[in-house]
Structure 1
């Protein structure tokens, strides 16, 4: 065992201690009813009779499974009776508990009656907050009433057992490590948001020529040409395949991607697959939602439904330049101006696409723009991988640091 890992040990065989534990603690954990340790009682606030204006937290104020507060409202503008909370209380959304809406408040205020206000005279706030995120607590809340709008049942939850460290130092350490991870995850999301804002903003300026790159010798690139869509891209409908190519899902999030890679399951028959079109790597696909999210790019060779329009460049271009251009806010705005009045759900035809002007910078400038945007996209992907690891670490600890 390395020095780094000595502080946490496994306890696989003891019933009332967690699988994972800080090594300096060996005592068995206390067991009690949740009702004896945690209270969900709170004072009530009536906006019609109370003149004090508090920040009000509604269900939509809480993000899903992240512990982030998205917004607050003025309590004086609310119509319904609210629960009162104080700084240090833990909030948990009891309506549709599988959404995992929780928050540790650091101010006084009121909240929706669909939100439990949890407090404890035994457990400190950080430990209590970590506990409501744990698998053991979440699984209790999911035993709920109602099918369309399930609600967690406090009577059931409170009559269940809770195991917790008798040593306050151990409780403090558990609360701190989960809070540390929450804070790191929050910071990581902010980093990704800033990078996504950057690529969106810079892309918009590049594509409408608010900013321009220069050549390696600092000379200006030639002025951009403007071509109709059908001058740059052909409509391809090649169905000459033996049905052994991977079926591609056309998504706004991943572009064109083999269905197996994203667990995208739609039943198809051998006969229907025969009519599918071949997509080559570097092709673009017009999908049902292209007027909302742009035109998709394929990094894969495969086949897709004949309902999609496959675009392939008919002149030498940098495919990544158009990959970013077709997904840019600038292009989607141009697309929607041309298609004003088109109804949601109607596929953009090749004729519509062909009638829209496309920019055609020199190949060198296309490459410079594509490489620059790709470098930001690579950074976003790296930061997303870090986020995934942090979230995985948190899930592991929440599953193993509690009984």
Structure 2
């Protein structure tokens, strides 16, 4: 390659690749990985799929493995501010230098495939290829891979060999691609289960659980189900939740999560089960697990950015329901003085999300804005839907800065602004608060 691009140029090149066009067959991804010498990986792989909670399970599992002194590689999607968020080594964002090394090799191979008529790898394929190059160059022992969309046909499922599959909660999302029923979507997610492997899954949705168990039997895989009855909520106060585990070696340990999101109890339990399966450790060796979990702060998930601003990336009806369940823990006086800031993208069921918010979020007012993305729903349309669902004040503002000022202005003295509806919105807010700098 004649020109060595900067990280900013690399980001621009990648962002211009189509994100949501028809994906390539999985053999295309395998060919890309094969040419990168990344198809076969001599590391322990944990593959995570599901509708909601995938990233959280990954981040908590990473924390536990690091507490055990293990070297880790973590692949996540999407990112909020920088592409570097998607690739992490030992808990740290990949450096620009490491990213660029993988990028230049991946681009060379992608161009070769394009010239041969095979087609340039898609946005997600390309990023996954860079990730695997970074991981191959690292000393990581454990690789934690979050699927992008679905599971069976996802680019991450092209790798040969996986030691453990984890499936989080299943809900109706991406129905145009994955199917319009819980069982159909669960079937796609269960596609990550490997022959003779093991799967740990969220068993709260009975319809999904049956599909996953059937898929595990077909693959002669062992399975382990996690339900809400496995944990006991001990207490919660805004951004801290405490719970005990039932029927576990460490059932006397009080775990604390640095988040006000109730749904994180289930995700932490999935991560704990995954760690137990991988490490085979007893309670006596788990002294650092409790502290590691409490130290986790996960971006965009009931994240308190300022004392008066909390963002949550809930972007589909099941996630909105989980957000509302957590919101119900807030003191009624504070909630009644609070304002909800909302935006969404077109390929989500934003009408249903808005109805849920109007029915169950007992806030003072609603402010809507438009996401800086071509799929963003126009402000006027969001305003109209809200006004058909609530008699409370609804204010539309075209820009993020205007909407944040408007929401803050309408908050009572003890109130808070809750921003919800899309991870794109969460990313916009985080970028705005840092003056556009994002991550260092």
- TM-score w.r.t. length of structure 2: 0.22
TM-score by structure 1 length?
0.23
Name whichever structure is richer in helix by fraction. 2
* Structure possessing the higher radius of gyration over alpha carbons: 1
